[in-house]
Amino acid sequence: MADSASAARRSTRASQQPLSLAEEQAAATLSLLEQRDISAALQLSLHDSWDSDEEKSGAGSDAAADSSSSDEDEEKEVAAPAEEDAEWSSELHDIAVPLPRLRHEHRRLPPDCTPFQLLQCFLPHSLMEEFTQHTNAAAPHDWRPTTAEELYAFLGVHLFMGIDRLPRTELYWSQTFGHPLVTSLFSRDRFKQLLRFFRVVAPDEAAADRNPLPHVRSLAAKLNASFAAHAAPSQHLTLDEAMVAYKGRSPIKQYIPSKPHKWGYKIWCLASDGYLLHFEVYAGKEDAPSDAGATVDTVLRMTAAYQQQQHILYTDNWFTSPALLRALEQRGIRLCGAVRSNRKGMPAIPAEDIRALNRGEWLQRQKGDATVAVWQDQRTMWLLYNHCSPGETASLDRWNDAGRKVSVGCPRAIRDYFYGARSVDVLSQLHYAYLPGRKAMRSWPRLAWWLLDMCVINAFQLWSKGQQHLGQLRFREELMHELLKQLPSEYVPRKRGAGLHAAHALVKEHYPAHSEERGDCAVCSHQPDTRARSRIVCAECGVHLCLGNCFSQYHAKM
């Protein structure tokens, strides 16, 4: 009995694939994907675009699906509960994954666009004019009105401060740390005025001081529209949360201990290949979620513009569940995400079977198109997916106990997740590498500067397409210089001459004058056993001094 039980247990567990075949399997998988892409392109080559096909009656597969008979709808309604009632099985089978729909990009940008031109896709001159109006409305009447060009330069100085960061703003104008790039454009007082009165939306007197949302809501809506309009995503989408570091008082501030920046605003981000497509600031629990739950509602709302296009969505275990997989599959999106073993609808896998796994081994259970993989690395990883067949395998380079990289076998879905779920993390790394903005007591500036920096990062992603070995630092340097050139010459502060040393400029205010009374010299009379009395006094200071060295030494210390 023990031998038969162990044999049955081994039959349900896939062992590590031979390392010599890992590259061949990866090449075969890539060849299969290329053949599918070529066939999809051939099928769509007779059409100008899939958008125009949808307008033709009966031309697309979606139109055929919409015109299906009521009998077919009833069959689907009957089949759905049967699939939900099915049990998870260790007998695996291949699944038919729909081909991704090819589409044209929304706007094709010229290949020779400068960084400033790319930034203007998201921060056009008209939007900066709105910032100008809001800033002038928030400022007092006796200040010099700002302009859109000055705000562009103001943003450029913040890019410089993100690269060369000092702990206090005043230090950029100090004699020790002052930089001529900043001091030649803005005076210290003017820059601090802009920091104080800068606004990105109209001032709302009724808005709470500690709630940042009213101060950025309209800007967030405009950026969401422009982000989606200037780039088309690839087949791979990533949904994850990003943290905007903030430790002040705010009703929507969150604490996530697993993040590098644990305190701050949580933002749901949908990204593709390091480009931010859509975002939402988390403002707390939803008041009236649907029956599917608030988490499923969030995912469906974030991916609403990319449904029925056969994208692959990568999520972490906060979002992933069998209910979400079914909801996305009905809307034409495939799912691949880490999942918690105690989610409702997950298969019951004996704990002893999981403990028996060695590194590079895995267990899989399948129900319909959905597959759960339990893969053993240094820790056990659970993955739920339906974007590929469970029989497809791959390998990953992992560190062993000796500190060396080794190739470890895994299902293909595990490898896809490791490489596909990074987009939002890449955005956060790019943001915190050269953090813009300055510290403030108010709650909304930190969030506003995150939005403005996302414009810079998305412009960088558009700029780096088709180019190799170009880093973010070079892009920010070029963009900074272009932004600083927008400042008109009449706004540049006049450079004040250094002037003479105080010891050589005494004749302006401090000059010797004759006194009727004698007095002790303020310099040499303080020396031990020395007393000198003089009738010469400083006309400004009123102290008696010996004419000559004592007079200059006294004023040199001022």
Is residue 504 over pLDDT 70?
Answer: no
Place of tokens 């705000």: 151
What's the CA gap between 412 and 373, in Å, rounded? 10
Q: Across-strand partners of 514?
A: 536
Is residue 161 over pLDDT 50?
Answer: yes
pLDDT category of residue 34 using cuts at 50, 70 and 90: low
Please tell me the predicted confidence (pLDDT) of residue 154: 95
Q: HEC states along 500-524?
A: CCHHHCCCCCCCEEEEEEEEECCCH
Q: Return the number of other C-beta atoms located less than 10 Å from residue 484's C-beta.
A: 21
- The reported pTM is 0.73
Domains in the chain: boundaries: 120-199+464-491, 213-426, 502-556
Is residue 112 over pLDDT 60?
Answer: yes
Pairing of strands 370-376, 405-411: unpaired
At 346, the amino acid letter reads M
Is residue 56 over pLDDT 80?
Answer: no
Averaged pLDDT, 3-19: 41
What's the CA gap between 387 and 95, in Å, rounded? 9
Please tell me the predicted confidence (pLDDT) of residue 330: 94
pLDDT category of residue 32 using cuts at 50, 70 and 90: low
Positive or negative: CA dihedral 215, 216, 217, 222: positive
Task: For residue 70, give the DSSP letter.
Answer: H
Percent of the chain past pLDDT 70, that is, above it, reads 78
Mean pLDDT of the chain: 81
